[in-house]
Amino acid sequence: MRLKDKVIIVTGSCTGIGKAMAKRFVTEGAKVVIHGLEADLGAQVIEELGAENATLHIEDLTTEGAPERLVELAVKSFGKLDAVVNNAAMVVASNIHTTDLAFFRKMMEVNTVAPFALIKAALSQLRATRGAVLNIGSVNAWSGEPNLLPYSISKGALMTLTRNLGDTLMREDHVRVNQINPGWVLTENEAQRKKEHGLPEDWYTHVPRVYAPAGRILWPDEIAVAAVYWLADESGPISGQVVDLEQHPFIGRNPPKDSSTIPVSGKQ
């Protein structure tokens, strides 16, 4: 088991990619702290994983003291902390015309500042275990889509945070910091967004090949499997790296506007 006896906080793990990662980590021998905003869904995850393997914390990460409480829960429940996975994020479509300053600040607070705050709160514990941080970004970090302006900026900032701390913390604290940038992933929230856009239930079965060369988009479990490597000892001293997880080269692709009737504004 590649994560045997490791204790891992996974933010935003009541649903979607976070939930898939938490389940995979437990399968690989880890203990996990499940976090999110949906108490009922979180309780279901705990029931599925078993109370001996997981504990739950429901709180908005931008609340004062929330990062510290997450770290305290991990140590109180399992005796230490080996890794933090910053997965929780706001994904809301908006552009230069529909984004006001309050919304922009909120997006940055949730998607960039909160991960920084959790890393800072966890650092003494991670230093003690020579642990790891894995930030979950997005391929949109590189430039993003027109209707994902503040989201894309927040993920770009997260990527710079990863590069910077990946160097600094490895040198000073022997703590690795890396990031994976998922592409288009079929999560529960993505399915709901597309339903709200008026698409049929089976929209994901006929995504145009220009967006999905494989004939489908990614599954949360495929991101979870990749995440294991960055938290396992087998990744050694590798730090400050950002890896895109998509089925085509995202940078430089400019599909024609009439190439799809499926909006992609919900991309991870």
Q: How is the chain split into domains, by residue range?
A: 7-184+220-247
- The catalytic residue among 151, 204, 211, 229 is 151
Task: Indicate if 211 belongs to the active site.
Answer: no
Cα–Cα–Cα angle for 188, 32, 15, rounded to 5 degrees: 10
Dist. CA 175–CA 183, nearest whole Å: 26
Dist. CA 80–CA 74, nearest whole Å: 7
Domain 7-184+220-247 fold is: Rossmann fold (3.40.50)
pTM over 0.85: yes
| Per-position pLDDT tens, the chain of length 268 | 999 999 999 999 999 999 999 999 999 999 999 999 999 999 999 999 999 999 999 999 999 999 999 999 999 999 999 999 999 999 999 999 999 999 999 999 999 999 999 999 999 999 999 999 999 999 999 988 889 999 999 999 999 999 999 999 999 999 999 999 999 898 888 877 777 778 888 888 888 888 888 888 999 999 999 999 999 999 999 999 999 999 988 776 666 565 555 544 444 4
Name the one residue in this structure whose structure tokens are 């552009």.
Answer: 95
Q: Which distant-in-sequence residues (6+ apart) come within 8 Å of 148 by Cβ? A: 91, 93, 94, 140, 265, 267
First to last CA, the chain: 29
- Contact predicate 142/162, CB 8 Å: no
